[in-house]
Structure 1
Amino acid sequence: MSYKVDYSQFPNRSIVCIDMMSFYASCIAVLHNLDIRKVPIAVVGNLQHPGSIVLAASPPMKQRFGIRSARSRLYDIPNHPEIRVFEAKMQYFLEMSMAVTDILHTYVPPEAVHVYSVDESFIDLTGTEKLWGNPEDTVQRIQEEILNTLQLHSTAGMGPNMLMAKLALDLEAKKSGFAKWTFEDVQTKLWPVSPLREMWGIGSRTEKTLNNMGIFTVGQLANVPLSLLEDKFGVMGNQLYHHAWGIDLSKLGSPIESGQISYGKGQILMRDYNKIEEVHTVLLEMCEDVAKRARDVLQSARTISLAIGYSKNAFGGGFQRSRTVEEATNDTMKIYQTCKELLKENYNGSPVRQISISITKLEDEHSMQLSLFEKDNWKNRKLAAAMDGIRNRYGSASLLRAVSYTPAGTAVKRSKMLGGQKL
Structure 2
Amino acid sequence: MIFAIDSKSFYASVEARSLGYDPLHVALIVISTGPNVGGGGLILATSPLAKKSYGLKSNVSRLRDMPKNADKLIMTSPHMNLYIYINTKINNIYRRYVDEKNLHIYSIDESFLDMTSTWKLFGNSKKQIAKQIQKEVLDETGIYTTIGIGENLTQAKIAMDVYAKNNDSRLGEINYASIKERLWPIKNLNSVWSIGNKTAKKLQKIGINSLDDLAHYDPYKLEKKFGVIGGQLYLLSWGIDRAVISQKAYPKEKSYGNSQVLPRNYTKADEIEVVLREISDQVAARIRKHHFQTGLVHVWVGNEYTNGGFSKQNKITPTNESKILNQIVVDIFHANWKGDKIRNISVYFGNLIPDNSQQFDLFRTSEQQIEERKLDRITDSLRLKFGFSKLVKASSILPGGTAIERAGLVGGHNGGNSYE
Q: State TM-score, norm by structure 1.
A: 0.84
Deviation of 1:385 after TM superposition, in Å, equals 1.5
CA deviations over 1:369-395 (Å, ceiling 9, x no partner): 222444233332222122112222222
Deviation of 1:345 after TM superposition, in Å, equals 4.0
CA deviations over 1:144-172 (Å, ceiling 9, x no partner): 22223322211111222333322222232
- Give distance in 2, aligned partners of 1:342 and 1:189: 48
Q: Which of 304, 321, 333 is residue 331 of structure 1 equivalent to?
A: 321
- Paired position in structure 2 for 1:294: 287
Deviation of 1:218 after TM superposition, in Å, equals 5.5
Question: What letter matches 1:58 in structure 2?
Answer: S
Q: Which of 63, 66, 84 is residue 52 of structure 2 equivalent to?
A: 63
Question: What letter matches 2:89 in structure 1?
Answer: A
Whether 2:373 is the aligned partner of 1:386: answer no
Question: What letter matches 2:241 in structure 1?
Answer: I
- Give distance in 2, aligned partners of 1:88 and 1:339: 32
Distance 1:345 1:224, change over 3 A: farther
Whether 2:250 is the aligned partner of 1:264: answer no
Deviation of 1:188 after TM superposition, in Å, equals 5.3
Counterpart mapping for 1:243-282 below 5 A: 243=236, 245=238, 246-252=240-246, 254=248, 256-258=250-252, 261-282=254-275
Distance 1:415 1:230, change over 3 A: farther
- Choose 64-73 or 369-378, whichever is displaced more: 369-378
Whether 2:41 is the aligned partner of 1:52: answer yes
- Give distance in 1, aligned partners of 2:319 and 2:325: 8
Q: Contact 1:42–1:56 (CA<8 Å) still a contact in 2?
A: yes
Deviation of 1:138 after TM superposition, in Å, equals 0.6
Distance 1:381 1:214, change over 3 A: farther
Q: Contact 2:106–2:112 (CA<8 Å) still a contact in 1?
A: yes
Q: Contact 1:155–1:178 (CA<8 Å) still a contact in 2?
A: yes
Q: Contact 1:311–1:351 (CA<8 Å) still a contact in 2?
A: no
Q: Contact 2:41–2:63 (CA<8 Å) still a contact in 1?
A: yes
- Paired position in structure 2 for 1:33: 20
CA deviations over 1:75-106 (Å, ceiling 9, x no partner): 32245321111011222222222221232223
- Choose 290-299 or 217-226, whichever is displaced more: 217-226
SS of the equivalent of 2:353 reads strand
- Paired position in structure 1 for 2:418: none
Deviation of 1:60 after TM superposition, in Å, equals 2.3
- Give distance in 1, aligned partners of 2:266 and 2:130: 48
- Choose 390-399 or 334-343, whichever is displaced more: 334-343
Whether 2:173 is the aligned partner of 1:180: answer yes
Q: Contact 2:93–2:137 (CA<8 Å) still a contact in 1?
A: yes
Q: Contact 1:300–1:368 (CA<8 Å) still a contact in 2?
A: no
Q: Which of 283, 308, 318 is residue 276 of structure 2 equivalent to?
A: 283
Distance 1:84 1:232, change over 3 A: closer
Question: What letter matches 1:122 in structure 2?
Answer: F
SS of the equivalent of 2:348 reads strand
CA deviations over 1:116-145 (Å, ceiling 9, x no partner): 222222222122233212232111111122
Deviation of 1:115 after TM superposition, in Å, equals 2.4
Counterpart mapping for 1:28-177 below 5 A: 28-46=15-33, 51-78=40-67, 80-133=70-123, 134-176=125-167, 177=170
Question: What letter matches 1:70 in structure 2?
Answer: N
- Choose 261-270 or 225-234, whichever is displaced more: 225-234
Question: What letter matches 1:287 in structure 2?
Answer: S
Distance 1:348 1:208, change over 3 A: farther
CA deviations over 1:272-295 (Å, ceiling 9, x no partner): 222232222211111111111111
Q: Which runs of 5+ in 1 are unaligned?
A: 1-13
CA deviations over 1:396-423 (Å, ceiling 9, x no partner): 2232122222231221122111121112
SS of the equivalent of 1:37 reads helix
Deviation of 1:42 after TM superposition, in Å, equals 0.8
Q: Contact 1:299–1:363 (CA<8 Å) still a contact in 2?
A: yes
Deviation of 1:41 after TM superposition, in Å, equals 0.7
Q: Which runs of 5+ in 2 are unaligned?
A: 416-420
Distance 1:372 1:244, change over 3 A: farther
- Give distance in 1, aligned partners of 2:311 and 2:211: 26
Question: What letter matches 1:77 in structure 2?
Answer: M
Counterpart mapping for 1:314-325 below 5 A: 314=306, 316=307, 318-325=309-316
Distance 1:123 1:382, change over 3 A: same
- Give distance in 1, aligned partners of 2:90 and 2:373: 40
Q: State TM-score, norm by structure 2.
A: 0.84
Distance 1:141 1:387, change over 3 A: same
- Paired position in structure 2 for 1:355: 345
Q: Contact 1:47–1:86 (CA<8 Å) still a contact in 2?
A: no
Deviation of 1:310 after TM superposition, in Å, equals 0.9
CA deviations over 1:45-76 (Å, ceiling 9, x no partner): 23787532111111222122221110012232
Q: Contact 2:308–2:340 (CA<8 Å) still a contact in 1?
A: no
Q: Contact 2:243–2:249 (CA<8 Å) still a contact in 1?
A: no
Q: Contact 1:163–1:256 (CA<8 Å) still a contact in 2?
A: no
Q: Contact 1:303–1:322 (CA<8 Å) still a contact in 2?
A: yes
- Choose 285-294 or 374-383, whichever is displaced more: 374-383
